[in-house]
Amino acid sequence: MSGEDPAAAFRIEAGELLDQVEQGLLDLGHSLADMDLINAVFRGLHTLKGSGAMFGFDALAAFTHHCETAFDRVRKGQVPATADLVSVILSAQDHMRALVEGDAPAAEGDAILARLQLALENASGAEIPVAEPVSAPRGWRLFFRLPADAMANGTNPLTLLDELRELGEAHIVARTDEVPPLGDLVPTECHIGWDVTLVGDISREDIEDVFIFVMDDMTFEIAALDDAAAAQEDSAASTEIADTTVADSPKTDEPAKAAAVTAARGGESIRVPAERLDELMDRVGELVIAQSRLSQLAHGGDDLVLRSVSEEIERLASELRDTMMVVRMVPVASLFNRFRRLVHDLANDTGKQIALVTEGESTEVDKTVIERLFDPLVHIIRNSCDHGLETAEERAAAGKPETGTVHLSAQQSSGEVLITICDDGKGINRERVRAKAEANGLIQPGQVLAENELLSLIFHPGFSTAAQVTNLSGRGVGMDVVKRTIESLRGSIDVASTEGEGSTITLRIPLTLAIIQGLLVRVGNGCYVIPLAAVEECIELSLEEDLRSRGRSLINLRDRLVPFLRLREMFATGTKPDTHQKIVIVAIGNERVGLVVDQIIGNHQTVIKSLSAFHSSIATFSGATILGDGNVALILDVGQLVAMGQGVDSEEKIYAAG
């Protein structure tokens, strides 16, 4: 017997239904006459009401009934869909979410229902597009085929046929042309279709209501009986031929049919709790560590059999790791869709006309990264809408379209995902940024700054150039949150802006936070890991060159000065440098810095472990990993080291200028 809580399962299903309703409402706001969207929203509300009552969520079912009734009037043409009605139902679905969780105040629901009644009354006075009068059909002819898993999900085809019979005089013929041979037949799958002729005064909506719970997944064709009568005999004949074909099917066709059945099952999926995936990921990480230790032992001896087994386990562990990575990946569409509602509400709050354009929704990122990206993107999009985009009047005066655009896109680049937020607003005023930075003591008056250094000042805590504080932004805390969150993800931020044309913020995020490919290096007597995605190249630093560079920390790399950091001195190892030191060139965005190490050991599959609370404040390291010999190696935080290197670079330039 399953131990799953039915109420918990319903909450998950209800969340998905409400997401679908919300997306349908947002689309409907741009196309109020779209009957497909109206029907989709109605079906979502109808399903939520029925399922809620089934699982004991009576308050949810009662509240949703009012919203369903309102959309039923819209789809039947009694009232038109209006922007006000869509706005009220959006607020209602927020209340439904609270009802699902059991923490919704009753007064809030009453207020929303009062707004809903007012919206319907106002809509009743609006003009409803009237279709050309047509003669009422004397009946309908329809064909439907349920999805293969319909019965497993609780749908009884016989119940649907009984409901159709209740509507009027019904003639039903089964189609068995897609029933597989007996050896391939799965008892829980449905392969029969039905041709149904209904005679009587029946509306199309009454027929669609019978299939409302399965309409999105089934095959459904319907036509007025007057139009379909001529084709009735042909359809019956084709059904007989199909029956004969299945009955007389030679055995030589069975492998092909079996392959088709197998292919049909390939699209099946199951729901797995996120914590189970996290637990499985931990086990895979432990396996990778154990495999690394086995590999070290095998290559340290002369046992060829042990070495062969070690290589085989290494291959299997690598494949399992890659498979686990794919399982944890989710499309960013699940993240991007949440911002459609945010932009809709921001447009209402600011009185601006704002359009959100998304691109690259199929790009996949680790689910943990997705969860932690929401807050930073909220702050950036709020700033773009509140401070970046102008009002319709200001845009018209500047020769721009009255509707401002926020463009949200994602693309994969090597081991990173680039998420770009671009707006066509007024851009960042560099003089105001400089003045605010000087007033806050962040820079000295007249200090020379590169373009990216100046624009990066907006991420300092408490920094804001807003003329006034609004309920959306202006307190200077949002962009600081963005910077800290992205850095905690081992990512980076690039800012570009053109005054009068808009701004672009690019977030560079690693694909996963669990297992990475790292470069294992030795500094003194300790081993450290550098994320391989940030490594550009490795060069040699001889003892003579090291002595010549004392007093300055720059190296000429292909006619470009690159600052470098001596990790041996930073970590106070107390050891003498090796004769042939190495410089590992790492990069974040356009910034590069060299890290001087004693030895490059090689590539290493790195299972990332969080640092203890006592060590978490050390900015130089982002985590730790366990090596094959059981020792711990710290993982370097490349972002922090690059920032430190750029500070050294600035000091050297000032020193040289002086």
Catalytic residues: 46, 68, 383
Q: What span, in angstroms and rounded, lies between the C-alpha atoms of 400 and 436?
A: 29
Q: Residue 140's CB: how many other CB atoms inside 10 A? A: 25
CA distances from 545 to 38, 74, 536 (A): 73, 79, 21
| DSSP secondary structure of 237-257 | HHHHHHHHHHHT--GGGHHHH
Contact of 529 with 634, CB cutoff 8 Å: yes
Q: Residue 343's CB: how many other CB atoms inside 10 A? A: 19
Give the number of C-alpha atoms closer than 13 A to the C-alpha of residue 299, restricted to the C-beta side. Answer: 11
**What are 189's strand-pairing partners?**
none
Which of 331, 292, 323, 302 shows the shortest CA–CA distance to 631? Answer: 292
Tokens of 22: 């919300």
Residue with the two structure tokens 């998304």: 358
The continuous run of DSSP H or E covering 63 comes out as: helix 58-75
CA distances from 653 to 548, 553, 650 (A): 18, 11, 5
Q: Residue 434's CB: how many other CB atoms inside 10 A? A: 19
Torsion of CA 106, 111, 113, 116, to 10 degrees: -160
The amino acid at 63: F
Q: Rounded to 5 degrees, what are φ and ψ at 55?
A: -100, 10
